[in-house]
Chain A
Amino acid sequence: MLFRLTADPFVEDVRMSAADGQAFELFVRTHATMLVRLAGALTGDPDVSEEVVQSALERLFVRWRRVDDPLAYARQVVVNLCRDRGRGAARRERAGLPAADLAAPDLIGVHDDRDQLVRAVRALPYRQRAVVVLRFWQDLTEQQAADALGIGVGTVKSQTSRALQRLRQLLDSPPVQAGRKPQ
């Protein structure tokens, strides 16, 4: 029996030219640590962060030729995978198994304001947490954050507002004043 298998764009993508291979290597060298830190900001777990980023880079690798903006794509995959990890942790928790440390912040014994703030951010619902991390730590525009999360700009704005409000509640501090460091 004969059948025709025409050129497969997926296979073409995998068969990188030497230049593509070098570009991918360069991309990893340039952005991998930032992506690991992004995953770390979202999960708080170094091991999970590395796994997530490797998985994201694998996906990027096979789509390298088709992706217009590799960094935006990798960032989006990292954000999605971290969300999925969080859901898995929640499921494990419901099943009575140990869950990742994504629950309410334990602010006892924190070393300083920075630790307290990081723990509070990680205690936010995932979308709010991701918005805060992408907008404030990654310094992305609202549009970029919306693209990474697959939501609208309006949702980014509303989630940002809610996140900041929730952070203030968690940190039990008065609203920050313009130009003044909060107490």
Chain B
Amino acid sequence: MTDLEVSARRIRDAFDHDLADYRAPAGLAERARLGGLRRARSRRLRRWACAAGAACAAVGLATALTIAAGSSARPVHVRLAAWSVTTNPDGTVTFKLRKITQPARLQHVLAEAGVPAMVRWGEICLAQGRHDLLSTRGFVKTSIRENTFPEKYQPESFFATLGGQRHTPWLDWSWTITPGKIPPGGRFVISAISPDRVPADDIQSVWEFVHSSAPVACARLMKP
């Protein structure tokens, strides 16, 4: 037996003994998966921020079109096949979205219900920095069909999804929002593109909650 083999055996024995209590924590795979998605999304956002730079000219207009909500909130009951906004008896607002049609009307109805939002259809809109994304904890509950959106929502910051779903071409989102708890100065940015316009595996729809003053860039996609 060589000197090296003796050393190896001693070291192996010592570390086996020392590390016996070290174990992978439960749920590590799930946390790694979510953390990985956060990393990926952060990177995508940076890419979008660059790619959509030329679209920043639209930011001013987009901001101006956003309807401020809050004090003017009133009960709303609008049900379309594509989307619905309903004020519940407890003051919360249930917003269901299958497809963005009549985006201006949707934005207006949400504002009337006390939910400040910028709604865009046919283009993807993103805040220009992750620091602009705000927590929705405490005033948003969501229901996103798991098999539709591989990227789970992240209640600490924002909701987002990837597009190009061939088998489930339309959205199936449902949120219950408490308007009275929405932080002043925040607004939702909701945008989507028809799935048939989106290259497979690209962003199809995005939902974010951001500062109203945060620059938001919108860009259209073209199917290659």
Interface residues of A (CB under 8 A from B): 1-8, 10-16, 21, 24-25, 28-29, 32-33, 35-37, 40-41, 46, 49-50, 53-55, 57-62, 113-115, 117-118, 121, 132-133, 135-137, 139, 164, 167, 175-182
Contacts and interface: CB of A to CB of B under 8 A. Distances in A.
A98 to B, nearest CB: 22
B24 A33 contact: yes
A118 B20 CA distance: 13
Contacts of B25: 50
Given A7-B202, A61-B35, 8 more contacts: A4-B221, A57-B32, A57-B36, A115-B14, A175-B3, A178-B1, A178-B2, A180-B6
Contacts, number: 168
Contacts of B44: 8, 10-11
A16 B150 contact: yes
A7 B200 contact: yes
Contact of A40 (B10, B19, B40, B203): B19
Contacts of A35: 24
Nearest to B8: A136
A59 B12 contact: no
Nearest to A135: B8
Query: Which 5 residue pairs are nearest across A and B when measured between Cβ atoms?
Result: A61-B36, A32-B24, A57-B32, A58-B35, A28-B29
A22 B18 CA distance: 32
A31 to B, nearest CB: 9
B33 A61 contact: yes
A182 B36 contact: no
Contact of A5 (B14, B17, B51, B162): B51
B7 A5 contact: no
B80 interface: no
Nearest to A133: B15
Contacts of B16: 137
A182 B6 contact: yes
B32 A60 contact: yes
B220 interface: yes
B44 to A, nearest CB: 7
A104 B29 CA distance: 35
A4 B222 CA distance: 5
Interface of B: 1-4, 6-8, 10-19, 21-25, 28-29, 31-33, 35-40, 43-44, 47, 51, 54-55, 150-151, 162, 199-203, 219-222, 224
Contact of B55 (A1, A7, A21): A1
Contacts of B38: 58
Contacts of B35: 54-55, 57-58, 61
Contact of A29 (B14, B29, B199): B29
A59 B39 contact: yes
Nearest to B34: A58
Nearest to B52: A3
Contact of B15 (A36, A58, A137): A137
A37 B162 contact: no
24 contacts: A1-B54, A1-B220, A2-B222, A3-B219, A5-B51, A5-B222, A10-B43, A15-B201, A21-B33, A25-B29, A33-B24, A37-B19, A40-B22, A54-B28, A57-B29, A57-B32, A58-B35, A58-B36, A60-B32, A113-B14, A114-B17, A118-B14, A135-B8, A164-B4
